[in-house]
Chains A and B, each alone.
Chain A
């Protein structure tokens, strides 16, 4: 059955059951593979997208539950000011290693800056601890979030 979604500002209609998690609709139905599968149980954050601006683990979000809410994925995050700043900071500080977790890291970081423009370490822990990075880029993630925040103030 057809479900209509608002993804990165455009309407997409997909053939999928209500219960199929958004992650697999994005990756396997729409071919938007920037959003990653890491655990499937909301423990790693690799699948993070924004629903109406707040970070959600798409691996457990039934596509039927989204309705008209706006879905933003890594492919569209550069359109938001926070997203663009985060991506720039990520490159400036060379945060990325294998990169597999980074879509999710960037989505979580952009969502954090949207509500907390000037986060301290506590805010960063609260927003980013659900995102695992097996390559261990945490030190640079923290630094890059702070740089993106200060770029925002500049």
Chain B
């Protein structure tokens, strides 16, 4: 082969490689806390109060108790417990575009759980996504977030998990299509998207902010639902907390954008929503957020909730262009007004099964939890979360007791559910969702099991 050609070839390779690197660098994007411009320092060098560990009230608690608190804060249970299954015994399905993943048994059972894990092996799994047998975990396990967890906190969680009764349980096998069934492939993914560095406080921020950051990023992993993902399924922190679709539900914009984020919420609203799953005039958490509240956020100490609020408040505003700039006011008291009458089926379902609780105005005569006015879900023209709540219902464990909405998915057709979601979004949100029978069928699939 002629030299000139070889040179050209080499040049081409170099260029391509350069472009690729650039592309990858772009894909990788900034870290979750990059938006805070202050200097990041190693935990050891941070002179403010230690943002890791448990709240002061638990300072003297046993390792297991501290681990229990942190395990709840990290919300291990929700993903590692199947519906109707034993706590932490795994088996929950994650429906992904390319197949179904199952969570694993993290009870201390030696054969089917994590009973045989050494401390080092546990840290590798939780922080780096490397299984005891060396195999790679899929990022459905948020180890990119847990990487920020301090070793001490991670091992406290281990101590707690090992204090639980071992459960013999093997999850059904994953059903991932090639090439996603090749776990080794995740090695490159991790190398690229999970830089192996721990939590670094921002020296320019208050200790409270840093504590909030630690809870949000290292434990509660808010971004795993609320931050959009890029083509490589990695979090795109350029759009941090800008809202994303997760497990068939909309995880809404929680940036400080006034119109479409939390900018318009008071600190009290946010704190109450996190701690109870409900804020007056803001609505009630359902679906995955409802579970996060029940099993994790509602268990956090008040000061940790306050720290979370401080941190959320600082996240730069991003406008969600798919959401209306303002929330609709209460609907008219008469069924005759407030909607075009094309959607007869939607109205028929609503007046039979829904109006008794939610009212024609959207303000419930029974419970503020059932008031639709002002909630994001009905003001979301996608209608996704409205349809999901109709299908699967919701149960909130609140201080006054259990508040629930029954599931209508088994007795109402996809067509009826689409129609009522379209009716509700039009009547109470001002813009009818355009859901079809097929859309609802798809929603059911995404949340099946």
- Taking the complex as a whole, does A directly touch B, i.e. does some CB pair lie under 8 Å apart? yes
Residues of A in contact with B (beta carbons under 8 Å apart): 19, 41-43, 45, 51, 54, 56-57, 60-62, 122-123, 125-126, 129-130
- Determine which residue in B356, B360, B366, B406 has the highest number of CB atoms from chain A within 10 A of its CB, and name it: B356
Partner of B356 from A19, A43, A51 at Cβ < 8 Å: A43
A43-B353, A60-B366 given; 14 more Cβ-contact pairs under 8 Å: A41-B406, A42-B356, A42-B357, A43-B406, A56-B365, A56-B366, A57-B356, A57-B357, A61-B365, A61-B366, A126-B351, A129-B352, A130-B351, A130-B356
Q: Given A19-B401, A41-B406, A45-B356, do A122 and B366 touch, yes or no (CB 8 Å)?
A: no
Q: Given A42-B356, A43-B406, A45-B356, do A126 and B335 touch, yes or no (CB 8 Å)?
A: yes
Main secondary structure of the interface of A (DSSP, over half): mixed
Q: Given A56-B365, A60-B367, A122-B336, do A129 and B351 touch, yes or no (CB 8 Å)?
A: yes
Q: Is B84 an interface residue (CB 8 A)?
A: no
How far, in Å, is A109 (CB) from chain B's closest CB?
15
- CB contacts (< 8 Å) of A41 on chain B: these are 404, 406
CA distance A12 to B356 in the complex (A): 26
How far, in Å, is B352 (CB) from chain A's closest CB?
4
- CB contacts (< 8 Å) of B367 on chain A: these are 60, 62
- CB contacts (< 8 Å) of A123 on chain B: these are 335
Q: Given A57-B356, A130-B351, A130-B356, do A42 and B335 touch, yes or no (CB 8 Å)?
A: no
- CB contacts (< 8 Å) of B404 on chain A: these are 41
CA distance A43 to B400 in the complex (A): 22
B352 touches A130 (CB 8 A): yes
How far, in Å, is A45 (CB) from chain B's closest CB?
7
Q: Is B355 an interface residue (CB 8 A)?
A: yes
Contact with A along B403-425 (1 / 0, CB 8 A): 01010000000000000000000
CA distance A13 to B353 in the complex (A): 33
Q: For B359, give the chain A residue with the smallest CB separation.
A: A54
Q: For B357, give the chain A residue with the smallest CB separation.
A: A42
- CB contacts (< 8 Å) of B365 on chain A: these are 51, 54, 56, 61
- The size bracket of the interface on B is 10 to 19
CA distance A30 to B245 in the complex (A): 50
- Determine which residue in B365, B400, B404 has the highest number of CB atoms from chain A within 10 A of its CB, and name it: B365
Contact with A along B94-119 (1 / 0, CB 8 A): 00000000000000000000000000
How far, in Å, is B405 (CB) from chain A's closest CB?
9
- CB contacts (< 8 Å) of A130 on chain B: these are 351-353, 355-356
Q: For B333, give the chain A residue with the smallest CB separation.
A: A115
Interchain residue pairs with CB less than 8 A apart (26): A19-B401, A41-B404, A41-B406, A42-B356, A43-B353, A43-B356, A43-B406, A45-B356, A51-B365, A54-B365, A57-B357, A60-B357, A60-B366, A61-B366, A62-B367, A122-B335, A122-B336, A125-B351, A126-B355, A126-B360, A129-B348, A129-B351, A130-B351, A130-B352, A130-B353, A130-B355
Which residues of chain B in 332-360 are interfacial with respect to chain A, using CB atoms and an 8 Å cutoff?
Answer: 335-336, 348, 351-353, 355-357, 360
How far, in Å, is A91 (CB) from chain B's closest CB?
26
- CB contacts (< 8 Å) of A62 on chain B: these are 367, 400
Which 7 pairs across A and B sit closest by C-beta, in order of nearness? A126-B335, A130-B356, A129-B352, A42-B356, A129-B351, A60-B366, A42-B357
How far, in Å, is B363 (CB) from chain A's closest CB?
12
- CB contacts (< 8 Å) of B401 on chain A: these are 19
- CB contacts (< 8 Å) of A61 on chain B: these are 365-366
- CB contacts (< 8 Å) of B355 on chain A: these are 126, 129-130
How far, in Å, is B436 (CB) from chain A's closest CB?
24
How far, in Å, is A130 (CB) from chain B's closest CB?
4
- CB contacts (< 8 Å) of B400 on chain A: these are 19, 62
- CB contacts (< 8 Å) of A19 on chain B: these are 400-401
How far, in Å, is A53 (CB) from chain B's closest CB?
12
- Determine which residue in A45, A60, A122 has the highest number of CB atoms from chain B within 10 A of its CB, and name it: A60
- Determine which residue in A41, A56, A122, A126 has the highest number of CB atoms from chain B within 10 A of its CB, and name it: A126
How far, in Å, is B79 (CB) from chain A's closest CB?
29
Q: For B400, give the chain A residue with the smallest CB separation.
A: A19
CA distance A125 to B336 in the complex (A): 12
Q: For B351, give the chain A residue with the smallest CB separation.
A: A129
Q: Given A41-B406, A122-B335, do A57 and B366 touch, yes or no (CB 8 Å)?
A: yes
How far, in Å, is A115 (CB) from chain B's closest CB?
8
- CB contacts (< 8 Å) of A129 on chain B: these are 348, 351-352, 355
A42 touches B366 (CB 8 A): yes
- CB contacts (< 8 Å) of B348 on chain A: these are 125, 129
- CB contacts (< 8 Å) of A125 on chain B: these are 348, 351
- CB contacts (< 8 Å) of B357 on chain A: these are 42, 57, 60
- CB contacts (< 8 Å) of A42 on chain B: these are 356-357, 366
